[in-house]
A = this chain, B = another copy of it.
Amino acid sequence: MNTDFVEMNVLFDFYGSLLTGKQMDIFKMYYMEDYSLGEISQELNISRQGVYDSLKRAESVLKYYEEKLGLVKKYNSNIAKINNIKRIIDDAKINISDKSALRVLDEIQKELDEIEL
C-alpha cells in the first residue's frame, strides 16, 4: 500500500458505508490504527495476502465511487464557498455598526453552521 493516507481517510468518510464488514475492519486497522499488514493478518487470522487483497479491493471500491459520484470533489468545492461566506461575515462584523444588520449576519452565521456537507 503506497497510497495517500489522508486521501484514503477522506474517501472512507464518504463511501466507507459501501464496504463489506471485513473490508471496513481491515481498512480501519491499516489506515486509522496504524497496524501493519502482518499485524492485521495475525489479529484477524487471515493470510497476509488475504489482508492485502481486501485492502486493495477496499481502495478500489472507494475510488470507484468517487469517480462515479464525486462527493469529495463537491464537498471541497462547497466547503470552500461556505468558508468564504463565513470570512465575509467575520470581516463585515468588524466594519459594520448598524445593529439590525449585525443581527442578520448573526442569524446567517448560525444557519451556515448547521449545514452539514
What is A's interface to B at a CB cutoff of 8 Å? 14-15, 17-18, 65, 68-69, 71, 74, 77-78, 81-82, 84-85, 88-89, 92, 95-96, 98, 100-101, 104-105, 107-108, 111-112, 114-117
Contact = CB atoms under 8 A, between A and B. Distances in A.
A81 B17 contact: no
Given A18-B69, A68-B18, A74-B116, A111 B88 contact: yes
Most B CB within 10 A of own CB, among A81, A85, A89, A116: A85
12 contacts: A17-B68, A77-B116, A78-B115, A78-B117, A81-B111, A81-B112, A81-B114, A81-B115, A85-B111, A88-B104, A92-B100, A96-B98
